[in-house]
Amino acid sequence: MTRVWRCLRAWSVPVCLLGLVACSNGRGSLEDSDGGQQQQPGKVTIGGTVAGLSGAGLVLQNNGGDDLAVSANGSFSFKTAVDAGTPYSITILTQPGNPPQTCSVGNASGTAPATNVTSVSVTCGTGTFSVGGTVSGLGGSGLVLRNNGADDLAIASNGSFTFATPLANGSTFEVTVATQPNRPSQTCTVADASGTIGGGDVRTVKVSCATNAFTIRGTVSGLLGSGLVLQNNGGDDVGVQTDGGFAFATKIPSGSPYDVTVKAQPANPAQVCSLQNAAGVVQDRDVDNIVITCALREFTIGGELTGMVGSGLVLANNGSDQLTLTANGPFTFPTGVLSGRPYNVTIQALPTRPLQLCRVFDGAGTVTDSNITSVRVGCVTIGLGVGGTVSGLQGPGLELQSNGEKLQIAANGKFLLPASLPDGTPYDLTISNQPANQVCTVSNGRGVLDKVDAADVTVTCR
């Protein structure tokens, strides 16, 4: 290659050398005869070394420009030289990825000396970062979170959380619920639960907890009537028509109370339904041990007695449940009768002293849904007479008397004084007038009336 003398004037006094021309102002360019570009005098390069790089995509900048992509560890140098004596500042435009890394720059800035800068150091590291987030809605105890199948973390309250074990940059995370809370029982779900560590701590995992609600149910037995209505906590009615299971429509949150009652007892026939295990606090499962047992309801049988003046009146219901009455007025049998069953009031013993005849009105029927109070018993006094037989009488004129009543006898045979005397009345039958030409005598003529007529008096005439 043939060298030529050439001077590019920048100053008034050029300095020329064989084959090269150097201008005294330091800014002249040098060309060889074939036009090749050489570094200008007074310009220096900026560079250094990269260490720890394992990802891809690292891009450096000098003074906010002159982008330089770096793909491997070792030395680097920006393409554009800078004037000696001018500042330089090396920054990272893009951090490497796959795996993600964080690179830092040492000796990043300064003033360019008269020689090339090779002291910039770029150090890259993968690094480790924590995984965490926030918990909301937690009301129970025992919540345990888990990251990547391990690193369990117990959570006691709402707020932020962080797993104990940090993860390397570029690695994956997956947060799950290892143990759901109880007392009250809750179900917690995780949002933004998984991802890849991207050069910083993860704080975006969201755990939301909601209290579980459970069904209140049980069984009914012995139901014969209709209209049974159950109620929970003063509402949420459920009608029950047959024996078997029942369930309330509204679920009750864990930790909340339940209280099942009978709002309406069954009728036709009337029943009384009792409850077992009807109240408590919901735990972590459905309540299914409520027992409703229905039985026919008993009603009383009674009414009113009028007209009784004697004593000893005995009534009976259905032939067995006896009741002795001592005074007029309302009465009630001691034993109730089941709804749907018959009742039949009868007289077992009549009153005596005085003897009375009593009659039952509206005394029979079927018990429905209320006490029977319509039975009526009325009593009247029965008059008793004094009588007997006459024998041997041959003519007229015989006259008998007792208790102020007289009776003329004209022939032999039975007789009965016309007076009706109360039971318990003393009597004394005598002859108030003898027949002509005869004498009559009385046997058994004195006594007390006792429930029946005194019919054993004998009158013998001779």
Quickly list DSSP for 105-139: EES-EEE--SS-EEEEEEEEE--EE-EEEEEES--
Average pLDDT over residues 209-224: 97
pLDDT higher than threshold 70 for residue 1:
no
For residue 390, the tally of other CB atoms under 10 A from its CB is 21
Q: How far is CA 127 from each of CA 131, 147, 315, rounded to the nearest angstrom?
A: 13, 18, 103
Non-local (6+) Cβ contacts of 351 within 8 A are: 308, 309, 310, 311, 312, 313, 358, 379
Side-chain half-sphere CA neighbours of 193 within 13 A: 15
The CA distance from 269 to 241, in Å, is 13
Q: Which pair of tokens denotes residue 283?
A: 């735990």
Of 26-30, 166-170, 427-431, the range with the highest mean pLDDT is: 427-431
Render pLDDT for 72-97 as a digit per residue (tens, 0 to 9).
Answer: 999 999 999 999 999 999 999 999 98
**Residue 102, pLDDT score:** 84
Cα–Cα distances in Å, from 166 out to 89, 127, 220, 344? 33, 10, 58, 89
What is the per-residue pLDDT for 69? 96
Tokens 């089941």 -> residue:
338
Residue type, 258: Y
- Mean pLDDT over 273-302 rounds to 96
**Tokens found for residue 110:** 């300064």
Query: Would you say residue 181 has pLDDT above 70?
Result: yes
Mean pLDDT across 190-212:
94
Nearest-5° Cα angle at 147, 144 to 149: 95
Per-residue confidence (pLDDT) for residue 451, from 0 to 100: 81
Lowest mean pLDDT segment, chosen from 106-115, 350-359, 384-393? 350-359
Torsion of CA 409, 415, 416, 418, to 10 degrees: -30
Measure CA of the first residue to CA of the last residue in the chain; give whole Å. Answer: 204
Identify the pLDDT of residue 40: 59
Chain mean position to CA 355:
68
Q: Give the strand pairing for 87-94 and 109-111.
A: antiparallel
Quote the pLDDT of residue 19: 37
Each residue's pLDDT tens digit, 4-41? 333 333 333 333 333 333 333 333 333 343 343 445 56
In terms of pTM, does the model score above 0.75? no
Lowest mean pLDDT among 26-30, 47-51, 172-176, 336-340: 26-30
Give me the torsion for CA of 285, 259, 229, 243, rounded to 10°: 50
Cα–chain-centroid distance for residue 435? 102
Q: Which residues contact 234 (CB under 8 A, 6 or more apart)?
A: 259
Tell me the pLDDT of the chain averaged across its residues.
90
